[in-house]
Amino acid sequence: MTSAHRIITPESVLPGAAPCGHIIRGKTVPAASGKTFSTVNPANGREIARLAEGSAEDVDRAVAAARAAFAGPWSRWTPTQRQALLGRVAALVDERFEELALLETLDMGAPLTRTRMLKEPIRQMIMFFAAQALNVKGETLQSSLPLSVQAMTFKAPVGVVAGIIPWNGPLISQWWVLGGVLATGCTAVMKPAEDASLSVLRIVELLHEAGMPEGVVNVVTGFGHVAGEALARHSGVDRVAFTGSTETGRKIIQASAVGMKKLQLELGGKSPDIVFADADLDKAVPGAAMGVFNNSGQVCYAGTRLFVQRSIQHEFVERLKAFTATVKVGDGLDPTVQLGPLISQKQLDRVTGYVGDAPSEGARLVAGGQRPGGDLANGFFFTPTIFADVSNSMRIAQEEIFGPVISVIPFDDADDALRMANDIDYGLGGAVWTRDVSTMFKMVNGIRSGTVWVNCYGAVDPAVGFGGIKNSGYGVKGGAEHLDLYLYRKAVYINLG
Ligand code: NAI
Ligand code: MG
């Protein structure tokens, strides 16, 4: 039966009663210890699957499988063959997308209105990497060596890549790693987040269905401080691509000293979103609001420090409040819901803690600030929240909350806005809303971050990509440079004499 005829229900997409295993050498296998752990639907706290609890032993097996695959038939696949594999998996993902979107909604809470919308972005991302498969090139140089020696450079796949990814959108974010691995001929061990592993397990099954050789991509599920730590440290891993917290990023930098692994790190953010009095407020109000509330605020580049020019502050906050009242929070299976729950009790406690402390520092609560009750009381929901009269030095302005919480910070002029925008340890995203070209360029040039949006927020094209500076990490996602993590440069000198 094709998916068009299959009846898709939560029961039909979830793995069922038997625990999910790791995927090693193309086979689904239990943890070496036999241990499993529970993963829940954050909309109601109910267990939806049991996952294999990975240990250092499981990581050893998965890395060995990836090393063997790197040296095996996969190493003789041509770029065109790898491109075709990416094309086949893109078609499969497209065909099964309704199931994948539902699985992601059940596992990490983002509403179907969001997960369904990822269909085209994911297709674009896979096809971007399919194109990159044919774009790996070295150079032939005019050298100053004796005439008989010809010099050139090759680019070669680096080997085994560890992909350690977070829970805030693995259905799409895993492609940043899988795309790079498959385009270049590397192999991988993926360690999905303990709170959202199901879409990674499902996609790796689809990769095998599309004809990927066994062992090319392996998955070890489990906890960060055990399985993640063992993988980041493993001497059989050549490079690590990590997305997550700055704190864990630091641990991964330390672990990378084993084997001198090059890293791509996309870490936390506290991005400035700057609205000038001359902006088109019909666009700026919903744009800035959703620049934070999207995915319930669980987005690395969310524009959580909302700088608003003082002359429009009152009007802007009123309109922001009115817009926020229209945003529907609920179980993501409801096709009218815009915001789902937070991922976990831990994340809910974190958001509740920051919101509870903010008034004592002088922030004024304008909207939200609590958990919704009724049907939503058992889920990890939090109402979209706005604080006004925030100053840039308050904790809610300086620390990543990772929830639907906006801090409105007034500013007087462009210099004032820039000074505060850059007074932060992070440098991931940022935006400016204005109709004035010189104000726009002043902000684009002045904001110290890896990405700046103008009169929009959060658009990402894989061909251009994004990345961070400061505590937001290093190494880009997307663009031609993306593949630098997956390749190394080999200088070749040939004596033709
Ligand atoms: P985390 O950074 O601990 O988790 C991300 C991934 O790293 C998960 O797969 C986890 O299992 C793994 N991990 C954890 N400890 C590890 C270690 N020692 N070695 C190797 N891997 C390890 O983030 P967590 O605890 O889930 O969330 C805490 C905060 O991090 C959030 O509140 C948010 O502020 C930030 N965060 C940022 C993300 C981003 O996209 N930049 C994504 C997720 C969280
Ligand atoms: Mg889950």
What is the tens place of the pLDDT at every residue in 223-276?
Answer: 999 999 999 999 999 999 999 999 999 999 999 999 999 999 999 999 999 999
Cα of 247 to ligand 1 centre, how many Å?
A: 8
pLDDT of residue 4: 53
pLDDT of residue 6: 72
The residue whose C-alpha atom lies closest to atom 14 belonging to ligand 1 is: 224
pLDDT of residue 147: 79
Q: How far is it, in rounded angstroms, from Cα 19 to Cα 497?
A: 63
3-class DSSP state for residue 444?
helix
Residues 486 and 452 in one domain: no
Q: How far is it, in rounded angstroms, from Cα 94 to Cα 378?
A: 33
| Spans in the chain with pLDDT lower than 50 | 1, 3
Residues 259 and 340 in one domain: no
Helix segments in 384-436, DSSP class H: 395-398, 414-421
pLDDT of residue 145: 87
The residue whose C-alpha atom lies closest to atom 29 belonging to ligand 1 is: 245
Residues 209 and 251 in one domain: yes
Q: How far is it, in rounded angstroms, from Cα 87 to Cα 38?
A: 34
Judge whether 349 lies within some domain: yes
- With 0-12 / 13-18 / 19 or more C-beta atoms within 10 angstroms meaning exposed / middle / buried, residue 285 is buried
Q: How far is it, in rounded angstroms, from Cα 371 to Cα 130?
A: 43
Judge whether 34 lies within some domain: yes
pLDDT of residue 1: 43
Domain coverage including residue 447? 272-460
Judge whether 43 lies within some domain: yes
pLDDT of residue 127: 98
Residues 331 and 477 in one domain: no
Judge whether 107 lies within some domain: yes
Residues 153 and 295 in one domain: no
Count: domains in the chain: 2
For position 126, which CATH number holds? 3.40.605.10
Render pLDDT for 259-273 as a digit per residue (tens, 0 to 9).
999 999 999 999 999
Judge whether 467 lies within some domain: no
pLDDT of residue 364: 98
Query: Which tokens sit at 492?
Result: 């070749």
3-class DSSP state for residue 388?
strand
Q: How far is it, in rounded angstroms, from Cα 122 to Cα 476?
A: 18
pTM: 0.97
Active site residue 300: yes
Judge whether 10 lies within some domain: yes
Nearest bound ligand to the CA of residue 173: 1
Cα of 352 to ligand 2 centre, how many Å?
A: 20
Nearest bound ligand to the CA of residue 254: 1
Residues 204 and 100 in one domain: yes
Q: How far is it, in rounded angstroms, from Cα 295 to Cα 280?
A: 24
Active site residue 266: yes
For position 426, which CATH number holds? 3.40.309.10
Mutate to test the pocket of ligand 1, among 51, 248, 266 (most ligand atoms within 8 A of CB): 248
Residues 312 and 394 in one domain: yes
Residues 31 and 161 in one domain: yes
Cα first-last separation, the chain:
63
**CA of 350, closest atom in ligand 1:** 32
Locate tokens 């620049």: which residue? 291
Cα of 397 to ligand 2 centre, how many Å?
A: 29
**CA of 269, closest atom in ligand 1:** 41
Residues 260 and 282 in one domain: no
The residue whose C-alpha atom lies closest to atom 30 belonging to ligand 1 is: 245
Judge whether 497 lies within some domain: no
Judge whether 466 lies within some domain: no
Q: How far is it, in rounded angstroms, from Cα 371 to Cα 261?
A: 43
Cα of 442 to ligand 2 centre, how many Å?
A: 43
Mutate to test the pocket of ligand 1, among 59, 164, 344 (most ligand atoms within 8 A of CB): 164
Residues 198 and 260 in one domain: yes
- With 0-12 / 13-18 / 19 or more C-beta atoms within 10 angstroms meaning exposed / middle / buried, residue 124 is middle
Render pLDDT for 309-324 as a digit per residue (tens, 0 to 9).
999 999 999 999 999 9
Helix segments in 212-312, DSSP class H: 229-233, 246-255, 281-293
Neighbouring residues of 472: CB distance < 8 A, sequence distance ≥ 6: 246, 266, 267, 268, 269, 300, 426, 427, 428, 449, 450
Q: What are the DSSP E strand ranges found in 244-328?
A: 262-266, 272-275, 305-309
pLDDT of residue 355: 98
Q: Please identify every residue whose CB atom is under 5 Å from ligand 2, which is an ion.
A: 39, 107
Nearest bound ligand to the CA of residue 172: 1
Cβ–Cβ under 8 Å, residues 43 and 80: no
3-state secondary structure 333-361: CCCCCCECCCCCHHHHHHHHHHHHHHHHH
Residues 258 and 324 in one domain: no
Cα of 268 to ligand 1 centre, how many Å?
A: 9
Residues 217 and 168 in one domain: yes
Which amino acids bring their CB within 6 angstroms of ligand 1? 164-166, 168, 191, 193-194, 224-225, 228-229, 232, 243-245, 248, 251-252, 266-268, 300, 347, 350, 400, 402
Of 20, 53, 104, 300, the active-site residue reads 300
Report the run of H or E that residue 242 belongs to, with start and end.
Answer: strand 239-243
Cα of 83 to ligand 1 centre, how many Å?
A: 31
